Amino acid sequence: MDAVPQPLTSLSEEEKFFQTTVRKFAREEIRPYVREMDEAAHFRPDIIKQFFEMGLMGIEIPEEYGGQGGSFFQAILAVEELSAVDPSAGVIVDVQNTICNNALLKWATAEQKKKYLPRLAENMVASYALSEAGSGSDAFAMATTAADHGDHFLLNGRKLWITNAAEAGFFLLFANANPAAGYKGVTAFLVEREFPGFQVGKKEDKLGLRASSTCELLMDNCRVPRENVMGEVGKGYKIAIKTLNEGRIAIGAQMIGLARGALDHAVAYAKERKQFGRAIGEFQGVQFELAKMAIEVEAARLLVYNAARLRDAGMPFLMEAAMAKYYSSEIAERAASKSIEVHGGVGVTKDYPVEKLYRDAKIGRIYEGTSNIQLLTVAKKLLGK
């Protein structure tokens, strides 16, 4: 049972059904393997296969390409529900839908859509490759180059911290086709894993989200056909910025799912654990902590849902996305920490799931735009800059 009633009144009947279906799937099909996948640092391929079979990897892809023809908001619901059980599952679906598929739907040519969208909906995991060793918050200080050879480009460089890389067959990869022009040379490329000169390198051994793969990518004269340039040469920075703005809403969804999971575990334990002859949930000190957690989770959910609704309505959402990502990542870490405290000593053991959620929460304040970057975005919008 959920600790906090879900705000179903804000959802359509179709969205309620979708949410319930994903929640049931996450609890029944993913939850039994969460600890195993975390310890092995490996996500089960059979579960990814189920993601595709359920349509969770092609939520917004139109039906004509084999997708579900759903909404961005539905993708947000899916990420939240999966993350309440395992944030690693949530981020796999997040990257596929809100970053990669979403970018192709907006900027790919008709030929590119016809070639890749059916595969992304059916069985091909996607990955988004922007970050480098010297290119984090300063996303466009990238060193990966793309030399123009007429009918193809040769890519050279190294990408780091690339989510889904171990499983992916498709990479939305950014490289600079004109380094002298700075960020105005950045170009988006559609790269297949089998392209000559492309290699998935070392897999990171991480603190949290261990089942979600994070790898380096190596390009050594990687040959990419010219028809695999997405958008115009030198316009990749616009694609990256706009895509990340939407992806931040999904990270907010991942974080509220995580926080909700932490709260549910805390409430359940508070009802069971007895001290001084009473369940600890009967003590006001514990009750107040649970209440504060519930309030923060609900506030974060409303920020995330609002940003997603604005996006689907075609309205400006930059500041709202930054607010949602910032606040959700803050409360996720806080909720996971408080949940451990409610559990007491057993909370730091692997016998209970809350220590994993605490480890998973930390990245929320870092990836897809640090908390400071989100604050900067909000401040600039407030000041009209």
Quote the CA–CA distance of 184 and 47 in Å, as a whole number. Answer: 40
154 pLDDT higher than 70: yes
34 and 356 Cβ atoms separated by less than 8 Å:
yes
Q: Once rounded to an integer, what is the mean pLDDT over residues 122-135? A: 96
Mean pLDDT, the chain, rounded, equals 96
Q: Once rounded to an integer, what is the mean pLDDT over residues 173-196? A: 97
Pair (88, 187) in one structural domain: no
Pair (148, 103) in one structural domain: no
Tell me the pLDDT band of 6, cut-offs 50, 70 and 90: low
pLDDT the model gives residue 139:
76
210 three-state secondary structure: coil
Give domain status of residue 299, yes or no: yes
320 and 308 Cβ atoms separated by less than 8 Å:
no
Pair (75, 191) in one structural domain: no
- Per DSSP, 6 falls in state -
Q: Once rounded to an integer, what is the mean pLDDT over residues 186-203? A: 98
Whichever domain contains 219, its CATH number is 2.40.110.10
5 pLDDT higher than 70: no
Pair (262, 301) in one structural domain: yes
Give domain status of residue 88, yes or no: yes
Residues in the chain: 385
Pair (258, 365) in one structural domain: yes
Torsion sign over Cα 314, 23, 327, 211: negative
Give domain status of residue 1, yes or no: no
- Lowest average pLDDT, out of 10-19, 204-213, 352-361, goes to 10-19
Give domain status of residue 54, yes or no: yes
The amino acid at residue 317 is: F
Quote the CA–CA distance of 128 and 120 in Å, as a whole number. Answer: 13
Give domain status of residue 3, yes or no: no
Angle between helices 87-94 and 354-361 in degrees, nearest 10: 40
Which listed residue (60, 216, 330, 368) is catalytic? 368
Quote the CA–CA distance of 353 and 34 in Å, as a whole number. Answer: 9
Residues 6+ away with beta carbon under 8 Å from 282: none
Q: Once rounded to an integer, what is the mean pLDDT over residues 123-145? A: 92
Q: Once rounded to an integer, what is the mean pLDDT over residues 261-281? A: 97
Strand ranges inside 50-197, DSSP E: 126-129, 145-148, 152-163, 170-176, 186-192
Pair (183, 247) in one structural domain: no
Give domain status of residue 2, yes or no: no
Q: Once rounded to an integer, what is the mean pLDDT over residues 233-237? A: 96
Among 71, 97, 124, which residue terminates a domain?
Answer: 124
Quote the CA–CA distance of 385 and 367 in Å, as a whole number. Answer: 24
With 0-12 / 13-18 / 19 or more C-beta atoms within 10 angstroms meaning exposed / middle / buried, residue 245 is: buried
Quote the CA–CA distance of 9 and 7 in Å, as a whole number. Answer: 5
Q: Is 368 a catalytic residue?
A: yes
Q: Once rounded to an integer, what is the mean pLDDT over residues 19-45? A: 98
Give domain status of residue 86, yes or no: yes
Angle between helices 354-361 and 318-343 in degrees, nearest 10: 150
Give domain status of residue 212, yes or no: yes
Among 220, 235, 250, which residue terminates a domain?
Answer: 235
Show the domain range for 349: 238-382
Tell me the pLDDT band of 157, cut-offs 50, 70 and 90: very high
1 pLDDT higher than 70: no
Q: What is the pLDDT of residues 317-345, one digit of tens each?
A: 999 999 999 999 999 999 999 999 999 99
Among 2, 1, 4, which residue's Cα sits nearest to residue 296? 4
Q: Once rounded to an integer, what is the mean pLDDT over residues 190-202? A: 98
What the block records as the tokens of 101 is: 């598929």
b/e 92-102 (16+ beta carbons within 10 angstroms → b):
bbbbbbbbbbb
Helix (H) or strand (E) holding 224: strand 214-225
Pair (242, 225) in one structural domain: no
Number of structural domains found in the chain: 3
pLDDT the model gives residue 7:
55
Give the Å distances, CA to CA, from 264 to 45, 72, 85, 91, 134: 28, 26, 10, 20, 39
40 pLDDT higher than 70: yes
With 0-12 / 13-18 / 19 or more C-beta atoms within 10 angstroms meaning exposed / middle / buried, residue 328 is: buried
Dihedral class, residue 234 (left if φ above 0, else alpha if ψ from -120 to 50, else beta): left
pLDDT the model gives residue 140:
77
Q: Which residues pair with 51 in a beta bridge?
A: none
Among 97, 124, 151, which residue terminates a domain?
Answer: 124
pLDDT the model gives residue 3:
65
Pair (258, 370) in one structural domain: yes
Give 140 or 148, the one with higher predicted confidence. Answer: 148
Pair (116, 148) in one structural domain: no
Whichever domain contains 298, its CATH number is 1.20.140.10
Pair (253, 343) in one structural domain: yes
